[in-house]
Amino acid sequence: MIEGYWQVPEAHANLERLAERRRVVQFDGRGIGLSARDVTDFSLEARVCDLAAVIEGLDVPAVDLFSQAHGGPVAISYAVKNPQTVGRLLLGDAVANGRDVIYPPRARALRPLIDVDWELWVQTQVLVMFGWTEIGRRVAEASVSSMTSEVFVASQRAARREDVSDLLPDLSCPTLVMQLRDERVVSLETSRRVAATIPNARLALYDQQHQWVLAGEAGVRIIEDFLDEGAAIAAAAAHPEHVEGPSGTAVILFADIADSTGLTERLGDAAFRQKARDLDGALRAAIRDNGGTPIEGPTLGDGVLASFTSAREAIEAALACAAEGNHAGLPLHLGLHAGDVMREKDADGRANVYGGAVNIASRIAGLSAAGEVLVSETVRSLARTSAGVRFEDRGEQALKGVGEKVRVWGVSQRMESG
């Protein structure tokens, strides 16, 4: 509901933020808000046709699609039917099966009120969501007039019957599945299943106050990162001769799942891949949160590669990644080294980094125990007084493919402040 969104200052600001570098188009679903009210067909086919009509009216070669909750089946269906038109797909707390949307106990308890007092029901639902605040009051007022009780009941009943799970393997566009950690809209199990079924999809977990994705900083930041990645790839495809960013000195983090072969044997291939996919999203988020840049080019095995301009931030990111791996039951080998790198585009247009520093970081990671962070003498020297951790000397180590031995240090624990 567009009018409701614009009553929330955070949502208003985030939409304008997205529109600074992109063309942002929203539309209300049939029978709702600014859309025509005299409709009775709320089938999936009709809703997909509505989306197609909006996109055709834009007269653009391709679009990126964002949907939330019950909008998932519509976006998924359209993307499968029009692969040449959809560049990237974002599913924010979205579902493939309408029955997977969570209805909290309070919402279910209030359901009979719809038939007795529609206005009171809408206002109560909105105020429960946004709190008994001035913003909540304004959104409630806008929501009351956005649809009738008959339209709401009919559209919700139709949405609950939709199931496009069988289409998920046919999605060919890069897809990001976004999931609130507190599972207000959909369960983590559901999002994991959706992400695991879509080829090459990612799962990003986030925390924020509002369940509307576009009404919070965390959700919008994830959206921007994903779309910026797509823009970089498109630019590289148009100008593959261009180098992405300057080459030079960087701190390189390499993280790799320990004993991935053994874990696959114990968990089974499907379960391991799902857990690894979830972890990949968590690691990239931890890297970004600590000032790093995840490298989107191909990496070896189950590794994640990232570059930093600060040794302190790189160590903080490595520790955060170690914690994420342990929490997921997929402990990591982690290694850090600093040195000169070359930044180039791979054949598929994705940014990558190359050079001896990358190779050394990977070799150092291979020396680490599961869940341990090892750093080179270079990184230790850069961060010795700023990182707030203790270093344990592991001596000089011979690294495969490296002519000289490298002194390696273990990051043992955070130093107590004060």
3-state SS track over 305-360: EEEECCHHHHHHHHHHHHHHHHHHCCCEEEEEEEEEEEEEECCCCCEEEECHHHHH
Query: Which CATH superfamily is 2-230 part of?
Result: Alpha/Beta hydrolase fold, catalytic domain (3.40.50.1820)
In contact, 128 and 139? CB cutoff 8 Å? no
Of 15-19, 263-267, 348-352, the one with minimum mean pLDDT is: 348-352
Mean pLDDT to the nearest integer, 294-316:
77
Of 74-83, 88-97, 272-281, 361-370, the one with minimum mean pLDDT is: 272-281
Q: Which one of 3.30.830.10, 3.30.70.1230, 3.40.50.150, 3.40.50.300 gives the CATH number of domain 245-414?
A: 3.30.70.1230
pTM of the model: 0.58
DSSP codes, 229-260? HHHHHHHHHH-TTS-SS--EEEEEEEEEETTH
Question: What residues have CB less than 8 Å from 91, skipping those under 6 apart?
Answer: 67, 68, 72, 75, 76, 175, 176, 177, 178, 194
**In this predicted structure, what is the pLDDT of residue 232?**
53
In contact, 251 and 307? CB cutoff 8 Å? yes
CA triplet 286, 290, 294: central angle to 5 degrees?
Answer: 60
* Run of H or E including 73: helix 72-81
What angle do helix axes 269-289 and 311-328 make, rounded to 10 degrees? 150
Mean pLDDT to the nearest integer, 285-310:
78
What's the CA gap between 337 and 329, in Å, rounded?
26
What is the number of alpha carbons within 13 Å of residue 265 lying toward its C-beta? 3
Grade residue 293 by pLDDT with cuts at 50, 70 and 90. Answer: confident
- Tens of pLDDT along 344-389? 665 555 567 777 788 889 899 989 999 999 999 999 988 877 778 8
**In this predicted structure, what is the pLDDT of residue 236?**
45
Amino acid at 351: A
Chain region(s) in the chain for CATH 3.40.50.1820:
2-230
**In this predicted structure, what is the pLDDT of residue 271?**
85
What's the CA gap between 194 and 179, in Å, rounded?
11
Mean pLDDT to the nearest integer, 101-121:
83
Of 73-77, 181-185, 317-321, 353-357, the one with minimum mean pLDDT is: 353-357
High-pLDDT (> 90) share of the chain, %: 31
* 3-state SS assignment for residue 184: coil
**In this predicted structure, what is the pLDDT of residue 230?**
66
- Tens of pLDDT along 148-187? 888 888 888 998 999 999 999 999 998 999 988 888 888 8
In contact, 94 and 68? CB cutoff 8 Å? yes
What's the CA gap between 271 and 196, in Å, rounded?
9
Mean pLDDT to the nearest integer, 35-41:
85
Across the beta sheet with 63-68, the strand order is 63-68, 86-92, 175-180, 202-206
94: its two tokens: 């979205």
**In this predicted structure, what is the pLDDT of residue 416?**
46
Amino acid at 320: A
In contact, 332 and 256? CB cutoff 8 Å? yes
Is residue 240 over pLDDT 80? Answer: no
Is residue 335 over pLDDT 90? Answer: yes
Residue 62 is given by DSSP the state -
Chain region(s) in the chain for CATH 3.30.70.1230:
245-414
**In this predicted structure, what is the pLDDT of residue 413?**
65
Question: For the chain, what is the mean pLDDT?
Answer: 83
In contact, 88 and 227? CB cutoff 8 Å? yes
Residue, of 220 and 318, whose pLDDT is higher: 318
Count the neighbouring beta carbons within 10 Å of the beta carbon of residue 203: 24
Grade residue 334 by pLDDT with cuts at 50, 70 and 90. Answer: very high
What Cα–Cα distance (Å) separates residue 43 from each residue in 40, 49, 93, 154, 185? Answer: 9, 10, 21, 10, 22
Is residue 83 over pLDDT 50? Answer: yes
